[in-house]
Amino acid sequence: MQVKFVDLSRQYQELKTEILSAVDEVFASGWYVLGPKLEQFEYEFAEYCGVKHAVGVGNGSDALYLILDALDIGPGDEVITAPNSFIASAAAIARTGATPVFCDVGDDMNLDPAQLEAAITNRTKAVMPVHLTGRIAKMEQIQEIAGRHQIHVVEDAAQSVGASRKGKRAGCFGVAAGFSLHPLKNLFVHGDGGVVTTDSDGLANRIRQSRNHGLKNRDEAEFWGINSRLDEAQAAIGLIKLRHIDQWNNRHREIAECYSDALRGMFDVPMEGEDESGVYHRYMIQTLKRDDLAKHLAENGVETKVNYRVPLHLMPAAKELGYGPGSFPVCERLAKTILSLPVYAALDARESEYVVEQMLLYINQ
């Protein structure tokens, strides 16, 4: 059996008729940018997350950058984030001219509140926790610390549409949150896309203007903005998929439960608290024999990934920040032991059971 790490074409086949009809409607309308489909998607996305505003943008990286820019974060400022994320998290900070500052993570793979305070300086303007794997960081503790130091909390919620903690969904904890609609996310469009969520009228208005060149009207720009708009066709696709996301997230959780029930005690598997519900954008196990296990699975038709093999602070791009091996021990340990197994809504029970079968064969060989 061949089990792909992800198979995007399956979801398309399930929704093909709806998607083609929606895209045809957009194409026939002649309105391709900043139109009614985007407005409707933004309204429904905000309702889903439990916030006042959602702003569709070109991608998840721009979502984070536009938030930081709207908060007037720039040269001379520092923004704290986790070192075990995708490069876009730190790059969005650097793009403003501010300095990325890293803080190690905890056993949940998210930014560790116990180490946050030590990373704060008089230059710190924001902390940007990453909800890695679709599991929300310990936001209550992070918000309490940030509040005492009067710094902003910005959620990197790229992987976490629909995840919840204490009854609140990702995207409603910080002053704003950035989501990605990239094809490898649990809610994705057919290309790049992103969303900013916020309860702040001022921040939402600033980002709506900033994503469209800073234009006040067709002829006047009040400031230098960028071109980062979620187009009508992608918004139309996003509308369709938003109405399926809870069903898909539940399927992710079913697969995760199947894996955990079978593998617990043999591998370090994800553990959730009673007050949280992750969406398992990634299902990561930990094992000291990661590379050997991945080789065994590949030889038997199971595709896996490592998210992420090189911590941000050890990348060449971060050289000038002054970090080195040993700077963040938990992050560095995880980089050597984590392995992501296939988890997506279209993965059927036969395939997930085969993944488990091959994992157990590895243990017992």
- Quick: pLDDT tens for 160-190: 999 999 999 999 999 999 999 999 999 999 9
On whether both 193 and 108 belong to a single domain, the answer is yes
On whether both 137 and 255 belong to a single domain, the answer is no
Cβ neighbours of residue 86 closer than 8 Å, sequence gap 6 or more: 158, 307, 308
* Angle (deg, nearest 10), helices 232-242 and 8-29: 130
Cβ neighbours of residue 104 closer than 8 Å, sequence gap 6 or more: 82, 83, 112, 115, 328, 329, 330, 331
pLDDT in tens, 2-46: 999 999 999 999 999 999 999 999 999 999 999 999 999 999 999
In a domain, 3, yes or no: no
Determine the Cα–Cα distance for residues 52 and 197; give it in Å rounded to an integer. Answer: 8
Q: In CATH, what number is assigned to the domain containing residue 215?
A: 3.40.640.10
In a domain, 271, yes or no: yes
On whether both 111 and 218 belong to a single domain, the answer is yes
Q: Is 154 helix (H, G, I), strand (E, B) or coil?
A: strand
On whether both 233 and 249 belong to a single domain, the answer is no
On whether both 217 and 331 belong to a single domain, the answer is no
pLDDT in tens, 132-166: 999 999 999 999 999 999 999 999 999 999 999 99
**pLDDT above 90 (res 131):** yes
Determine the Cα–Cα distance for residues 236 and 276; give it in Å rounded to an integer. Answer: 30
Both tokens of 258, joined, read 């199947």
On whether both 284 and 351 belong to a single domain, the answer is yes
In a domain, 202, yes or no: yes
Please tell me what DSSP assigns to residue 176. Answer: E
Average pLDDT over residues 89-106: 98
pLDDT bin (cut points 50, 70, 90) of residue 231 is very high
Please tell me what DSSP assigns to residue 110. Answer: S
The predicted structure's pLDDT at residue 195:
98
Query: Is the bond preceding residue 344 a cis peptide, omega within 30 degrees?
Result: no
Q: Phi and psi dihedrals of 154, rounded to 5? A: -115, 125
**pLDDT above 90 (res 274):** no
Both tokens of 22, joined, read 């929606």
Determine the Cα–Cα distance for residues 307 and 322; give it in Å rounded to an integer. Answer: 23
Average pLDDT over residues 62-86: 98
**pLDDT above 90 (res 365):** no
pLDDT in tens, 294-333: 999 999 999 999 999 999 999 999 999 999 999 999 999 9
Average pLDDT over residues 219-242: 97
The predicted structure's pLDDT at residue 41:
98
Are 176 and 155 a contacting pair, CB within 8 Å?
yes
* Mean pLDDT estimate for the chain: 97
Determine the Cα–Cα distance for residues 224 and 238; give it in Å rounded to an integer. Answer: 28
On whether both 68 and 92 belong to a single domain, the answer is yes
Q: Report pTM.
A: 0.96
Where is 168: in which H helix or E strand? strand 168-169
The predicted structure's pLDDT at residue 92:
98
Number of domains in the chain: 2
On whether both 108 and 238 belong to a single domain, the answer is yes
On whether both 67 and 178 belong to a single domain, the answer is yes
The predicted structure's pLDDT at residue 196:
98
Between β-strands 168-169 and 164-165, what pairing exists: parallel, antiparallel or unpaired? Answer: antiparallel
Domain boundary among 186, 214, 242: 242
Name the H helices within the chain.
8-29, 36-49, 60-70, 87-95, 113-119, 139-149, 201-210, 232-242, 245-263, 290-299, 329-337, 349-364
In a domain, 278, yes or no: yes
The predicted structure's pLDDT at residue 17:
98
Determine the Cα–Cα distance for residues 138 and 108; give it in Å rounded to an integer. Answer: 9
Are 156 and 128 a contacting pair, CB within 8 Å?
yes
Q: In CATH, what number is assigned to the domain containing residue 343?
A: 3.90.1150.10
In a domain, 349, yes or no: yes
Per the structure, the complete domain to which residue 90 belongs is given by: 8-242
Identity of the residue numbered 198: T
The predicted structure's pLDDT at residue 213:
97
On whether both 173 and 251 belong to a single domain, the answer is no
Domain boundary among 242, 273, 292: 242
On whether both 77 and 34 belong to a single domain, the answer is yes
pLDDT bin (cut points 50, 70, 90) of residue 340 is very high
Determine the Cα–Cα distance for residues 307 and 213; give it in Å rounded to an integer. Answer: 34
Q: Measuring CA to CA, which residue among 146, 151, 129 is closest to residue 138?
A: 129
Ramachandran region, residue 97 (left: φ > 0; alpha: ψ -120 to 50; beta: rest): left
Identity of the residue numbered 249: N
Distance of CA 261 to the CA centre of its chain: 26
